[in-house]
Amino acid sequence: MRRRVAAACLGLMVACGLASRAPAAEPPPPPFTGPVQVSSLPETEQRIWAEVADLERAFRRGGQLIDDAETEAYLAALMDRLYPGFGPAFRLRVIRDPEMNAFCLPNGGIYVNLGLLARVRNEDQLAAILAHEGGHFTHRHGVRQHESAVTTAAWVRYSRLAGGLPGKAIGSLLGLSSISGFSRELEREADLAGFGRLTAAGFDPREAVRMFESLYEESKAQGLKESVFFASHPRLQERIESFRALIAAAPAASAPAASAPVDSARLRTLQPRLQREWMELEASLGHDARLIHQLTRPDAATFFPPEAPYYLGEAYRRRGDATDRERMLAAYGEALARAPGFAPVHAALGAHHFKNRDCAAASPELHAYLDMAPDGPMAGHARRMLEKCR
Amino acid sequence: MRASPVVAGLLCVLLLASCRTPAPVPPRWSARAAGTVVLPRAGVEAALPPGWIQLDAYDRGLLITRDGLPMQFIKIIRAPHKVAFENIGKQGAPDLLPNELAELLIASNKARPGMASVAVTLNQPAELAGREGVKVGFAFRNARGAAYDELAYAVADDDGVLMFQYQALSRHFFARDLPAFEALVASARRIDKTDKKR
């Protein structure tokens, strides 16, 4: 039944999209150059803004947003550097999503995924994404995308984020393309606009290429889906090619400005907390392939917090390939060495030995866990295992 | 312009077809008398709480509610290991430790649409139908902001994963109907192979 309803909805969306393509193309609306008065917008655009506000409410009500004033303030400052003079036109929020992604709604709401903040290697990379997303807003891609078909991916994506389709938000399907990615033409325009902002603010656009390439390698090697910003391999490859072409066309502008050095220190102070939350989220979702890929990267030991090897060990345990047992134990050992006060690794080791009917090895680990975290999430299980060992 | 006889005939046929008496539709819900219900496919029997009604169309086990699905429901589900956690690309196994089963339940729940931010409120070993399993609690809000609580008991055995799941609006309903669910869980008993055939 759900499939039939979904198919009907998709059919309707495609039909509406095709129908809306029919009229002769009008010239695109002029880009925004600063804060926007909603009342000054054309009626259609005002309606779009109102509809995406419904979407934003659904994110908030559904508990999708992370209340993190410090990170939001940091992101707002970064955006201000990229888009000086726009001020409150952009509203930046952190969304609890493990994918490496961000999206901009037509009303200037920019949603940055936890997975992006946890995984960008420096401020240049983060700035590249924000500059690109800002370009979607300034060039009013929300209203322009309204003139073309709504994509299937948008529907799927929205359903996943908002946990259903509130009646009032049905009309804001047009806002969904903001989430799932715009048309090829609009993405290129956002690349161009973002590139200009990025270089003008003194960021190094070559870092964006490095990030895209690394993501491309990850998705290729793991067969992973990077949704939204990096929705598919061709789209990711397009970003790489687009950025390379822009850098080649403006080599002087692409060299980072010495007058405005990029300092990732503030990002690096925020990241450990965000990375812990991201690792926990990925682990709880069972995204083992991505955890393994990320936590075995050459810089993982210095880039991720000391508890990271525990999450790597857990990912190996869940994956359970032929050689994963040794890898798991090695990762747990590294976690013990790097984060001796981190209780979950003791629970993991205790459970491993218990499963192998080795109570002599399991008991000290389980006791250690209970000493450190008597009310921890594994406490009940640890006590039960100890009872059985007796 | 005159309609061709063929078109007119077709229209008549369609008109007549639409007047055909519809086949009787079986009732979607039926009242369940309180008492023991045997669920051969799930391999259990349990004493149902009084005053709850059953969704007949639910074919994966048993689905009952007292005030309507948005208010509260109880599901009894039996899933073979191959499909128990297919939404996260994992399988169950008879030798899963309770904490491993809980881990799969949590991942599977979080992978449901809009549930990535679900909070795990409880995770402890528990018995279900005479076997050692797990009891996991969740709290979440739907897209309209309504808060829900969920409690699930699950065991893994040779036949797959058996789960008793209770979900209700946090406000008023969850606490009110929790004793009915706990009583249902406490009454659960495995039925043997010969019972399953009846």
Asked if A62's CB is within 8 angstroms of B125's CB, the reply is no
Within 182-211 of A, beta carbons closer than 8 Å to B belong to none
Q: What are phi and psi of B96, to 5 degrees?
A: -65, 135
Asked if A378 reaches chain B (Cβ–Cβ under 8 Å), the answer is yes
Asked if B124's CB is within 8 angstroms of A380's CB, the reply is yes
Chain B residue closest in CA terms to A348: B99
Output the average pLDDT for chain B: 85
Whole-number Å distance between alpha carbons of B126 and A273: 33
Distance in Å, alpha carbon of A206 to nearest chain B alpha carbon: 33
Residues 6+ apart with CB under 8 A from A208: A124, A125, A128, A129, A198, A239, A243
pLDDT confidence of residue A323? 94
Distance in Å, alpha carbon of A207 to nearest chain B alpha carbon: 30
Q: Regarding beta strands A109-113 and A91-95, do their DSSP bridges make them parallel or antiparallel, or are they unpaired? A: parallel
How many CA within 13 A on the CB side of residue A123?
24
What digits encode the pLDDT tens for the residues B105-116? Answer: 999 999 887 776
**Is residue A58 left, alpha or beta, with left meaning phi > 0 and alpha meaning psi from -120 to 50?**
alpha
Distances (CA, A) of A372 to A201, A329, A344, B99: 47, 21, 9, 18
Whole-number Å distance between alpha carbons of A46 and A37: 10
Vertex B171: Cα angle to B166 and B174 (nearest 5): 20
Chain A residue closest in CA terms to B95: A355
Q: Which two tokens stand for residue B160?
A: 């797959």
Helix (H) or strand (E) holding A230: none
Total residue count of chain B as it appears in this document: 198
What digits encode the pLDDT tens for the residues A115-169? Answer: 999 999 999 999 999 999 999 999 998 888 765 544 433 444 444 555 444 433 3
3-state secondary structure chain B: CCCCHHHHHHHHHHHHHHHCCCCCCCCCEEECCCEEEEECCCCEEEEECCCCEEECCCCCEEEEECCCCCCEEEEEEEECHHHHEHHHCECCCCCCCHHHHHHHHHHHHHCCCCCCCCEEEEEEEEEECCEEEEEEEEEEECCCCCEEEEEEEEEEECCEEEEEEEEEEHHHHHHHHHHHHHHHHHHCEECCHHHHCC
Reading chain A (390 residues) residue by residue, the pLDDT tens digits are 444 444 444 444 444 444 444 445 678 889 999 999 999 999 989 988 988 888 888 888 888 899 999 999 999 999 999 999 998 999 999 999 888 888 889 999 999 999 999 999 999 999 999 999 999 999 998 888 765 544 433 444 444 555 444 433 333 344 444 555 678 888 889 999 999 999 999 999 999 999 888 888 777 766 655 444 444 445 778 888 888 999 998 877 767 665 555 678 999 999 999 999 999 999 999 999 999 999 999 999 999 999 999 999 999 999 999 999 999 999 999 999 999 999 999 999 999 999 999 999 999 999 999 999 999 999 999 999 999 998
Q: Map residue A357 onto helix, strand or coil.
A: coil
Is the pLDDT reported for residue B4 higher than 50? yes
CA proximity to A218, closest of A318, A286, A161, A296: A296
Q: Which residues of A touch B113 (CB under 8 A)?
A: 159-160, 163-164
What digits encode the pLDDT tens for the residues B25-41? Answer: 555 666 666 678 888 88
Q: Is B143 exposed, middle or buried (0-12, 13-18, 19+ CB in 10 A)?
A: buried
CA proximity to A310, closest of A280, A266, A267: A280
Asked if B123's CB is within 8 angstroms of A281's CB, the reply is no
What digits encode the pLDDT tens for the residues A312-351? Answer: 999 999 999 999 999 999 999 999 999 999 999 999 999 9
How many CA within 13 A on the CB side of residue B33?
3
Dihedral through CA A234, CA A236, CA A241, CA A242, nearest 10? 110
Distance in Å, alpha carbon of A61 to nearest chain B alpha carbon: 4
E strands present in chain A: 65-66, 91-95, 102-104, 109-113
Residue B92 near residue B85, CB atoms below 8 Å: yes
Whole-number Å distance between alpha carbons of A93 and A71: 9
Whole-number Å distance between alpha carbons of A324 and A280: 20
Q: What are phi and psi of A286, to 5 degrees?
A: 70, 30
- ipTM value of the model? 0.80
Alpha-carbon torsion (B127, B132, B133, B134), positive or negative: positive
pLDDT confidence of residue A179? 54
Asked if B107's CB is within 8 angstroms of A285's CB, the reply is yes
Strand partners, A374: none
Chain A residue closest in CA terms to B99: A381
